[in-house]
Structure 1
Amino acid sequence: MTHRIEATPNPRERHNLSRKERSNMDQNNDWYERYSPSLPDGARAPKRREPRGVRIPALIAFMLVAAMLGGVLGGLYTRVYVSEQLSSFSAQQQAEFSALSATEADNSGASLSTSVSGSFASSYSKAQIIELTAPSVVGIDIYATVSGYGSRFSGGNNESQQVQSGSGSGIILTSDGYIITCRHVVNGAETIKVILNDDTEYEATLIGSDSRSDLAVIKINATGLTPATLGDSDMLTVGEDVIAIGNPLGELRGTATSGIISALSREVTVENTDMTLIQTDAAISPGNSGGGLFNASGSLIGIVNAKASSSNSEGLGFAIPVSSVKTIISNLIDHGYVLGRAYLGVYTQDVTLSTGSSDGSNRNGNGLFGNFFGSAISSVQIAQVVTGSAADAAGLKAGDLILKIDDMDITSNTVLAAAISAYNAGDTVTLTIQRDGSQLTLNVTFGEYKPAEQ
């Protein structure tokens, strides 16, 4: 069978065909109906169909509303989720912090627990800080024996009795009972009692003390205690939040007061000793001495030891920077004294004498006090020389007046102690003394201070 194939005429040539020819062609080729711009005479143009679907402005409005709703709902969900995550992290962090402190204390025995860097340096709320640190702070009561209770006239037996003579605070250093406090709190005590945060009482033993740093370590027979975590006071900045916890007035154990670091490296004289201390505006009262100053991560950064006593001052409390005394604390625990402290080995007394010359010598030879009408000067007189001490080896004698240590004038026992504290055991100095109206110079090599030589 033979198929006939005809070429499709050009649409422009359709207008040259007769109506009959166009009709016959259209019956065989529907392309014309669909694409030809011209219609046969009398033919009806097909109706234009309206596009279906959503109009573009409506679609845009719908998308904007959906985006706004999605943003609001997403923001609410994100806020709730982040809040839950932060709360969970804070609780986990606190638990890890407590576990770390307990683990370090249990594993180290008498060693000191120190803070760590990283996430544990984060801040806690004040309530959390107090909850973490309050069990590490104790109250201390001091007792001394007083005689004469009762009277023969009143029927009493005139017996001696121990009475409370002072109080203060302390900080637990180890889980087995080592406690740090201020030397001036326990100095001269016959009996020391420690009251824990849970009101449990123990009698304490003095392990060692150091007058230069105003620190003392005592020990109670207990286990499972909560030691403080020692922080880094060298990293403090003025304005940083702190909390002081102690035993104000000797009656209000566990009292917490808050403030800021008001100043660093303050030069303050405490118990006739020049010290470099942290200043804070946290409320400090008598009885707070030996208590703790804690930073925002719950680490011990200061040991409270002084406050301004003037009626014109408010918010002036001071604390010993803990980083400056970590070695001292360890020495007191391990040895009962601080290694390397210079020791002269004399007992002295303040004297005021008159002299006929401005250099302190008695050239008129009228005895120890020189010319009655001479000018008065203050000095230190040796009352006793300790046998075998540095002073004994240098040839110092009772009755000698100590006028100078190197180039520093010695006018009182306080000045003498401050001068000696500037040296270490093994250092050699030149002492200028007066003996029998004449000045002498002696070279003295300091020994090492030990409690047995007190």
Structure 2
Amino acid sequence: MSENSTKAGRMTKALIFLVVIFFVGGLGGVYIDQRVLPFIRTNKYLSDIEFLKRSAENVTVINKTEQITIKEDDSINEVASQASNAVVNIISLSSEKDATANKNQKVSDQSGTGVVVTSDGVIVTHRSAIIEKNATYQTLLFNGDNHEAKLIGVDQFSDLAFLKIEASNLTAISLGDSADFRPGKKVVAIGNSSGEYQNRYAAGLLSNIAKTHNLGGKTVSLSEKLEGVFENDFNNQKEYIGGPVIGYSGDLVGIVGVNVVDGQNVYFQIPSNVLRDTLQRALNGGLENRPYFGAYYVPITKEYSIAHGLKRDRGALIYSPSGKQGLAIISSSPAEKSGLKINDIVLSVNDKAINLDNPFSNLINQYKKGDIIDLTVYRDEQEVKLSVQL
């Protein structure tokens, strides 16, 4: 073998040796950097060594972010479709006697939204969505079918109106538990748009539970009217009066209503639990047995108590802005006969405390005409008992 061949072989072996050394050294360096040095840095006696500190600074962190798009419009359509089949258009036709022709003449009509609540044809709406007196009713179902309807009755406490059509196996909306809903919940309002297989929708939030809102339409509460409603942030709520507000489960949360307070329309939703109770009254013929008490009052909150220097922070303050007894207690009413006076604070009804969750009017309306109830009243810094026949 020549001298040149021997030198070439030695050079090749040297290069291979160096490559192996660098490869093994590189793997070792990675292992030391990723495994050994982090372990050493956890030792409190070694963590202060300068080159270990610098090695900790040369760390690159890679974050991977994925963007997920949720098509909420699709989910709203899906949620609303579950209840849409139960929404109906109610057409009120009002007529009166024509004295000269001795016949009935149509003088006005009104279209409003309602919702089927039983499979055999009971429909609920808000009283402002229909004409109550001297009227006949036609209903258009979601599929376009037309049925004549009869008015079962209007509940004076909740302002819910009930109608009945002769039909069976209808799609009825499912009633949710309104006690489970809190402000911030997403909800959908459904209104009839007068077209077959077509409704109008509005998505929003349950923005407030107005516990002191009374349907009496005055600045003070009335003992014969519901107290405590839902408020939402929908636009154009006028278009949805009488229609359902549903949660994302598809269950009914409330019925859209309106009343006039100080000349302004105030929109709200009557909670489903009120509807459930009132529906049973309507089915059992009990709408006419609502009790009558005859008093105006202010529901006492802690803020109101502090602001007006009251000795109690809950209850119902018998009150009139005029300060007159005759405007706080209706003449010849059960309230007057019981001896109740202006500025009395009613604390309980049959020992059930009055508070924001149990308003005075709502407790009264758990009873019926003719029932006798006992009131605990705070008067002149002492509690007295009054017995009242409704």
Give TM-score, length-normalised by structure 1: 0.49
Q: How does 1:194-213 map to 2 (within 5 A)?
A: 194-213=139-158
1:223 aligns with: 168
Which residue, out of 94, 97, 118, partners 1:174?
Answer: 118
Return the letter of the residue paired with 1:336: G
Q: How does 1:117-132 map to 2 (within 5 A)?
A: 125-132=75-82
1:100 aligns with: none
2:207 aligns with: 262
Return the letter of the residue paired with 2:243: G
- With over 3 angstroms needed to count, the CA separation of the structure-2 counterparts of 1:148 and 1:243, relative to structure 1, is same
CA distance in 2, matches of 1:216, 1:408: 32
Which residue, out of 243, 255, 259, partners 1:303?
Answer: 255
- Unmatched runs of 5 consecutive residues or more in structure 1: 1-43, 61-74, 91-122, 152-156, 347-374, 382-399, 411-416, 431-441, 447-454
Structure 1 residue 127 displacement after superposition: 2.2
CA distance in 1, matches of 2:337, 2:240: 36
Which residue, out of 68, 83, 96, partners 1:133?
Answer: 83
Which residue, out of 103, 110, 114, partners 1:159?
Answer: 103
- With over 3 angstroms needed to count, the CA separation of the structure-2 counterparts of 1:339 and 1:241, relative to structure 1, is same
- Unmatched runs of 5 consecutive residues or more in structure 2: 1-5, 28-63, 218-224, 295-323, 343-359, 376-385
CA distance in 2, matches of 1:284, 1:409: 42
Which residue, out of 78, 93, 98, partners 1:143?
Answer: 93
Return the letter of the residue paired with 2:117: L
Q: Is the 8 A contact 2:227 2:361 kept in 1?
A: no
Structure 1 residue 146 displacement after superposition: 1.6
Please give the per-residue CA displacement for 1:62-92, whole angstroms capped at 9, x wherever unaligned: xxxxxxxxxxxxx99xx89x99xx99xx9xx
Structure 1 residue 56 displacement after superposition: 3.3
Q: Is the 8 A contact 1:168 1:290 kept in 2?
A: yes
2:246 aligns with: 294
Q: Is the 8 A contact 1:210 1:337 kept in 2?
A: no
Coordinate RMSD, CA, aligned:
4.8
Q: Is the 8 A contact 2:150 2:163 kept in 1?
A: yes
- With over 3 angstroms needed to count, the CA separation of the structure-2 counterparts of 1:216 and 1:143, relative to structure 1, is same
- With over 3 angstroms needed to count, the CA separation of the structure-2 counterparts of 1:211 and 1:282, relative to structure 1, is same
Return the letter of the residue paired with 2:279: I
2:346 aligns with: none
Structure 1 residue 139 displacement after superposition: 1.6
CA distance in 1, matches of 2:362, 2:230: 23
The yes-or-no answer on 1:329 pairing with 2:308 is no
Equivalences, count? 278
Q: Which has the larger radius of gyration?
A: 1
Please give the per-residue CA displacement for 1:178-199, whole angstroms capped at 9, x wherever unaligned: 2122245453353122122233
Q: Is the 8 A contact 2:338 2:387 kept in 1?
A: no
1:237 aligns with: 182
Please give the per-residue CA displacement for 1:247-291, whole angstroms capped at 9, x wherever unaligned: 48x899822222211211343343553521001121344463321
Q: Is the 8 A contact 2:174 2:251 kept in 1?
A: yes
Q: Is the 8 A contact 2:175 2:272 kept in 1?
A: yes
Percent identity over paired residues: 24
Give TM-score, length-normalised by structure 2: 0.55
Q: How does 1:440-451 map to 2 (within 5 A)?
A: 445-446=389-390
CA distance in 2, matches of 1:342, 1:401: 11
Q: How does 1:15-30 map to 2 (within 5 A)?
A: none
Please give the per-residue CA displacement for 1:106-142, whole angstroms capped at 9, x wherever unaligned: xxxxxxxxxxxxxxxxx97222223332222112122
- With over 3 angstroms needed to count, the CA separation of the structure-2 counterparts of 1:288 and 1:310, relative to structure 1, is farther
The yes-or-no answer on 1:190 pairing with 2:135 is yes
Structure 1 residue 208 displacement after superposition: 4.1
2:336 aligns with: 404
Q: Helix, strand or coil: the match of 1:126?
A: helix
